[in-house]
A = this chain, B = another copy of it.
């Protein structure tokens, strides 16, 4: 089958670590199922894999790709939940499984004609969503859904600040928060990105670190060190900071413990989401008409062009591959 995969790690030239070619389809263990991929979406996670981050050499070659929608063996149109749990995990929140992995970390990813996953990782693709649209959801959009609607405590009418208007999670946060009736503010180091955030639905965009007109109810944080003190300072007493990443580093100059307990604040870590939350996200898109913005759709054979665009930040919206 055709696949796009990492053959080695190259921290400086990630594109040089990518291969696109024929591979044998992986065998399908007991309890797993095979899905014909109809669309798969790129995430920065895939570029990090090419750089060797999170993908040790002894797992190579590894088919990349976390996000996919396709058709199961029984003809059912499905979206693939990208979080693979340990078979021994029995808790109620699957994001708490310390042995969890994303597709393309331990098990072959979605940039291929077929992908195989545990049967419980499939959810129905609503007919209202195209395969390309559906393929955009399982990573960035699911992360955003859980941050806003399970972790933040924010209700319609509350003000949510999204730090760093550029990335895939931030984009999904803007669209989902606006749709859910929140007041949406973003920060960005780049005026163009701020304007783009407003075009997506943000009520206002501010420069990074700006003094805000008033305190906010919740902050969505994925930048980390560079924005941490700002996030802490702009929250109202009793407000919530939800953090899903730390792209600028995870050790800010000040940890701000005093403000956390004295104001007081809540800091909630969040990573990906559960199968139930992915289902709710698809229902929300159907109920509202909201759709992920797709920058371009490429054949899987041209995966390198998609990676090149993502590495150059030469895109606005998701890049989708079709096998």
Contacts and interface: CB of A to CB of B under 8 A. Distances in A.
B281 A224 contact: no
Interface stretch (A11-19, A105-113, A242-250, A301-309): A242-250
B263 A269 contact: yes
Nearest to A263: B269
A181 B180 contact: yes
A256 interface: yes
A280 interface: yes
Given A157-B284, A176-B156, A276-B91, A255 B261 contact: no
Contacts of A274: 92
A257 B252 contact: yes
A200 interface: no
Nearest to A274: B92
A238 interface: yes
Given A155-B280, A157-B285, 11 more contacts: A90-B275, A92-B276, A96-B263, A150-B155, A157-B286, A183-B287, A228-B255, A246-B257, A246-B261, A251-B254, A264-B269
A158 interface: yes
Q: Closest 7 interchain pairs by CB?
A: A264-B269, A157-B284, A157-B283, A157-B280, A250-B257, A96-B237, A255-B255
Contacts of A288: 156, 181
Given A92-B274, A181-B287, A257-B243, A266 B268 contact: yes
Contacts of A225: 257
Q: Which of A92, A157, A224 has the most CB of B within 10 A?
A: A157
Interface string A214-240: 000000000011001000000011100
Q: Which of A92, A98, A259 has the most CB of B within 10 A?
A: A92
Nearest to A31: B31
Nearest to A225: B257
Contacts of A236: 96
